[in-house]
Structure 1
Amino acid sequence: MPMLGFLERLKFAQNFCKSTSLVSLILVIQSQLTLTIVPLHFSSSHILIKLSISALLLIIISGFSKCLKRLFGVSASAPALVLFNVLFVWGMHLFVIQKAIPSAANVGFNMECVLLMIGFFSILASDPGWVTDDCYGLEGAVGGTVSDAGRPCEALEVTAELSLSGGSFATRRIRYCKSCKRDIIGFDHHCPAFGNCIGKNNHPLFMVLLVGFLAVEIAYIVSSTQFTKESAIMGSALLETTLSGNLVVSTMLFSALQVLWQIVFLMWHVYCICFNIKTEEWINWKKYPEFQLPIQSQLGESYSEMAFINPYDKGISRNIMEFLSSTG
């Protein structure tokens, strides 16, 4: 079984290095160069206007990439886009910004990027909690059968009766990922950015990476702001603005947009951890009986309603402790 996991990770690494990565690199360079339009032509505009224009440009580029996929069958790799964007930001810091900021800040930023890359490649091929062939032997225990779709653990999805009875296997909350076509223990969601599911085994690493991305992006915003102040790029005349200066500012705007949505994303996952609910369960709670609380219909009404109830919520402190001890 360990050899099977190794082969699957090796196959993923090979797929990651295919031509889609080249397309991703081209799109990242195109995006970053396109964003230089903002500091070049809107240098005196309010920061909110700059961010809005930057977001609009990124949406247009995203639409352009989708057109390429439809017309030529060429598509980018989401993990490769993430990787090359981080490397681009890191490169701007190494070759442009670090000359104007203190050495200690440079060392700290570079260390953050190194740790982020280690975590990124770790989660790419991590085992989120895939259900193994051992589940075949558990079918009789839960009274299920193997489905035609090839899901050996179809019957192991938590039911109201099993979850409330405290069954040890049922409480592992096995869910099915349509993207990976596999059952996952503690499945939260499929993350396109990492090309992998987020489940029981790699959820803590996922949270660390969210914080890591925010730390790198915020550090870049701070250092690039200091750089632009010292170089007077933001207030310079149009002809005096250099390409490297424009790239520093446009990459800062790109990082700021990333921070805005990632903070919301991080807050959502912190909420889910505190109340012991998975993203997939929250979205599709009507699929799972243990989250359904029947509401008695009014006299004379033939229909019944279902209210949401979370049987896994044990209180914030216990929920957090359960999450922190979930990696296995």
Structure 2
Amino acid sequence: MAAESGEQRRNRRTSSDLISRCSTSFVYFSLIQLALYMVPYFFPNFSLLTLLPLSAVALLAVAAVVRCCKRLLRVRASAPAFVFLSIIFVWGVYIGVIRQVISPLMDFILNTEFLMLMVGLCSILSTDPGFVTIESSHPNKLVESPVSVVEAHSKELVPSTCDMPYVFSAEENAFQLQRVRYCGLCRAYVKGFDHHCPAFGNCIGQKNHVLFVILLAGFFFTEASYVASSSQYSAKIKILDKTGHLASLSINLVISTTMFSLLQLLWQGVFLAWHIYCVCFNIRTDEWINWKRYPEFNLTVHPEPGRTPNGSETRFTNPYDKGILSNVKEFLTAIG
């Protein structure tokens, strides 16, 4: 039998690591849902507003335990797998329980939203965010550019996985190098880099920023629709069941998934609002956090003549802000 090649061994290790991460995510997800299910099980007479903080405490407790176990066992989880499991589970509860009391129009809307989430998540996992390849013979061109990459530019660049990466030579205009940043997790340069999203398993850059915002909005509105439908289900079931003997498994599943969706809505609403703000003012998350690292965002203010000199002061300035309408137009069209 022929000896196993190095590439085959690497592929086998990669597959084994992926299976291990997905299995860890499955265990983590199962513990999360079990903890949420136990909240209405032990407190059946509590209102949703009371159950919400209890659910948050349960999530934090499970997260702390799982984090400690992962460190002890030296295993890692896959965030995209957790997201997939969340969508499938909530969708399954909707189809199996809630759907029976929902209007056909609302049923069509919710199923379409869930389906589009699955399609969008698969797309963003494999989409090229805008990886660029910098020729090793011209590293200084990028560094000396007024909109240069200043983070880890001396590190070796791992070739990107995209089929047709950008290749910038010394003869090209410096405009092409604007807002090219380095992602330490992907160990690659990304044009229009916003941040690395663990939940979607990819960098967010110029080529997939629009898809990211659309997908984020899709999660927000889908979960909001699910909460509305689950509330409608709970109200109708209580009216229909005069004796008060509700199917405990079904109603607890509905309540636990509603709590899960509400907690997701709380942080996703803030996150969506932040990215809408970034689009309107043409700023990236990485640029906002690390603006002192990028020269074009640094404005040096010198003390006025006649006053006691206290030294120059560095303030934030955004050279890319062209007004909200122009910024939104650039965001929607900047895919190249």
1:309 is matched with which residue? 317
1:65 Cα deviation (Å)? 1.2
- Contact 1:293–1:306 (CA<8 Å) still a contact in 2? yes
Q: 1:237 to 1:80 in 2, by over 3 A?
A: farther
Q: For 1:286-320, what per-residue CA distance to the aligned partner results, in whole angstroms no more than 9, with x for missing partners?
A: 11111111121365545321011000000000000
Amino acid in the other structure paired with 1:185: K
1:33 is matched with which residue? 34
Does the residue aligned with 1:246 lie in a helix, a strand or coil? helix
1:321 is matched with which residue? 329
Q: CA RMSD of the aligned region, Å? A: 2.9
1:178 is matched with which residue? 184
TM-score (norm 2): 0.82
1:158 is matched with which residue? none
Does the residue aligned with 1:132 lie in a helix, a strand or coil? strand
Amino acid in the other structure paired with 2:56: A
Extract unaligned runs of 5+ from structure 2.
Answer: 1-10, 146-151, 160-172
- Contact 1:292–1:306 (CA<8 Å) still a contact in 2? yes
Please say if 1:252 is aligned against 2:253: no
Q: 1:288 to 1:23 in 2, by over 3 A?
A: same
Does the residue aligned with 2:131 lie in a helix, a strand or coil? coil
- Contact 1:190–1:198 (CA<8 Å) still a contact in 2? yes
Amino acid in the other structure paired with 1:220: Y
Q: 1:227 to 1:324 in 2, by over 3 A?
A: same
Aligned residue among 169, 175, 178 for 1:168 = 175
Q: Mean Cα displacement is larger for which, 214-223 or 309-318?
A: 214-223
How many residue pairs were aligned?
304
1:195 Cα deviation (Å)? 1.3
Does the residue aligned with 1:314 lie in a helix, a strand or coil? coil
Please say if 1:130 is aligned against 2:131: yes
1:49 Cα deviation (Å)? 2.3
Q: Map of 1:173-322 to 2, 5 A cutoff?
A: 173-232=179-238, 240-297=246-303, 299-301=307-309, 303-322=311-330
Please say if 1:78 is aligned against 2:79: yes
Amino acid in the other structure paired with 1:275: F
C-alpha distance in structure 1 between counterparts of 2:180 and 2:238, whole Å: 56
Q: For 1:255-300, what per-residue CA distance to the aligned partner results, in whole angstroms no more than 9, with x for missing partners?
A: 0111111111000000000000000000010111111111213655
Extract unaligned runs of 5+ from structure 1.
Answer: 1-9, 154-165
Q: Mean Cα displacement is larger for which, 217-226 or 46-55?
A: 46-55
C-alpha distance in structure 2 between counterparts of 1:238 and 1:16, whole Å: 49
Q: Mean Cα displacement is larger for which, 237-246 or 104-113?
A: 237-246
Percent of aligned positions that are identical: 43
2:90 is matched with which residue? 89
- Contact 2:120–2:215 (CA<8 Å) still a contact in 1? yes
- Contact 1:275–1:313 (CA<8 Å) still a contact in 2? yes
C-alpha distance in structure 1 between counterparts of 2:322 and 2:155, whole Å: 35
